[in-house]
Amino acid sequence: MKHKISYQEGSVRKKGNNYYYRFRMEEPDGTMKMHEFAGTRSKRETEAMLKKAIEEYNELGKILDPGDITVSELMDEWFRTEIEPSSRATTTLDSYRNVMDHVRSHRIGKMKLKEVTVEALQAYVDEKYFGEYDENGKEIKHAYSDSTMKEEFVVLNGIFRYAVYPKEYLKSSPMQHVKKRKKPEEANIFGDEDEKLEIITHDEYKQIIEFLGTHKNSYGDDYRYMILPVQISYYTGLRAGELAGLCWDDIDLPGRRLVVRRSMFKDTGTKNWELKVPKNGKQRVVDFGETLANILTKAKTQQESDRKLYGELYQKHYCQTQSIKGRPHNIVFTDIHTDTGIIGSRVGHGKLLSEAEKGKSLVTLEFVCRKADGEMVTPQTLKNCNKLIQKDLGITWFHMHGLRHTYGSNMIASGANYKDVQLLMGHSDIGITLNTYVHPNEKTRKTAVDLLEKSLG
């Protein structure tokens, strides 16, 4: 049954050293009765508390005792008022929701705010860091990855900061005393030396290109359309989403450079392929050499020939910005000739052009990576490339992102300036370049030792 709304402004009065505020609330029998609550020693603060209490009552039908609010209720309010209206990417919102589901399903989610202790929060994150085990030491739940734990801390810190300000439910956040744990790693004290995987040698790269150019599946379909993304990534270090979002307008062939302006991703909410700014939120210029320039020139000529060959059946792509729940979405649309009755899966194309908003402008997308009939190559397509090369070619350590690792490592090994490599790869911090993509090898180690020998005479 809907509660009666309290329209009066209420009042504030002083008793002793403190101020109190009061207003009418509905009783179980349906009558309205005056209720009084303790404020502070400041009249202005107490008046603000009165206004907030009336708004809260009119919305919820009750006054929330800050201590009685559960962690889940606090979390939902934080997400609704602080996170959803923000400019965070849809993928970020999804990762936050994922963490919130973890908290909600755990006993800590049902705890009232006044019951939450540093020890309880530490126990929660430790369970996620190391996994859960029964009394016999058998693993019940796996430990979370480092990236997931980073998101756990973002959400937990966010909700308890919100409880401190602006809600003023707490005087300080208990999360400030919760420690991040370092996971113990198994040490390899016997056997062969550890090797960095995901690095592709030049011979392996040539083997992959040859394989993709000749291999066919049981239906007779070939995989030549996967060659160009592999080549571009090997010579530029572009991420999978950046490869899929790269257009010919972004490439200056005479100047041998390209601009990374966008990245393609699948929005889990709308289920559409969409375009967004690159990972660190900035465009970047990537220079390339004669080898890739020749590859791209041949690819462009071939695509123009394919377009003439397929005629009306050649797929065209567009982007239209639409507002969904107050947030802009740069949705990819595909113009598919439907007379054949074959549309294909949503993995390989955007929303049908007929679903675009009428009267709203469309931007033509001339994707660089595409199939012979013009079908765009998505990040999901590139995941399929990983499986194909790992399983059918036998290079089990291959991954598209490994080509990015290879690019960075090759640049450093060739003597490139670290700062230049950072800019080419689009890292916000040079530490990422050094720690993640710089893998010393036997050659660079020998060079370092030779330099020491020379310095010692």
Give pLDDT, residue 218: 73
418 and 285 co-located in one domain:
no
Q: Which residue has the tokens 């990422």?
A: 432
168 and 218 co-located in one domain:
no
pLDDT digits (tens, 9 = 90+) for 192-230: 555 554 789 999 999 999 999 998 877 777 899 999 999
113 and 169 co-located in one domain:
yes
92-96, 335-339, 395-399: least confidently modelled range: 335-339
Q: Which residue has the higher pLDDT, 176 or 65?
A: 176
Structure tokens given for 407: 């690019």
Average pLDDT, the chain: 87
Q: How many domains does the chain have?
A: 4
> How much is the average pLDDT of 145-158?
94
Q: Which residue has the higher pLDDT, 437 or 40?
A: 40
Per-position DSSP letters for 93-130, written without gaps between them? HHHHHHHHHHHHHSGGGGSBGGG--HHHHHHHHHHHHH
pLDDT digits (tens, 9 = 90+) for 46-82: 888 888 888 888 887 777 666 678 999 999 999 998 9
391 and 422 co-located in one domain:
no
Residue 340 has pLDDT above 60, yes or no: no
Residue 325 has pLDDT above 70, yes or no: yes
Give pLDDT, residue 88: 83
Task: Say if 376 falls within a structural domain.
Answer: yes
What is the separation of C-alpha 337 from the centre of its chain, rounded to a whole number of angstroms? 34
d(CA 146, CA 412): 27
pLDDT digits (tens, 9 = 90+) for 102-129: 999 999 999 988 889 999 999 999 999 9
DSSP structural state of residue 21: E
Structure tokens given for 292: 């890739």
Task: Say if 193 falls within a structural domain.
Answer: no
> How much is the average pLDDT of 283-307?
96
218 and 144 co-located in one domain:
no
- Least Cα distance to 238 among 224, 228, 225, 252 occurs for 228
d(CA 363, CA 366): 10
Give buried/exposed letters for 447-457 (b at 16+ CB in 10 A, else e).
eeeeeeeeeee
- Least Cα distance to 147 among 393, 404, 408, 436 occurs for 436
81 and 223 co-located in one domain:
no
259 and 384 co-located in one domain:
yes
310 and 367 co-located in one domain:
yes
Give pLDDT, residue 415: 81
Domain containing 368: what range? Answer: 202-396
218 and 166 co-located in one domain:
no
Residue 19 has pLDDT above 90, yes or no: no
Output the domain CATH number for residue 96: 1.10.150.130
Task: Say if 196 falls within a structural domain.
Answer: no
Task: Say if 316 falls within a structural domain.
Answer: yes
Task: Say if 2 falls within a structural domain.
Answer: no
Task: Say if 6 falls within a structural domain.
Answer: no
Task: Say if 402 falls within a structural domain.
Answer: no
pLDDT digits (tens, 9 = 90+) for 355-414: 999 999 999 999 999 999 999 999 999 999 999 999 999 999 899 989 998 998 888 878
243 and 265 co-located in one domain:
yes
340 and 427 co-located in one domain:
no
d(CA 447, CA 443): 6
Question: Which pLDDT band holds residue 27 (cuts at 50, 70, 90)?
Answer: confident
Task: Say if 185 falls within a structural domain.
Answer: no
333 and 374 co-located in one domain:
yes
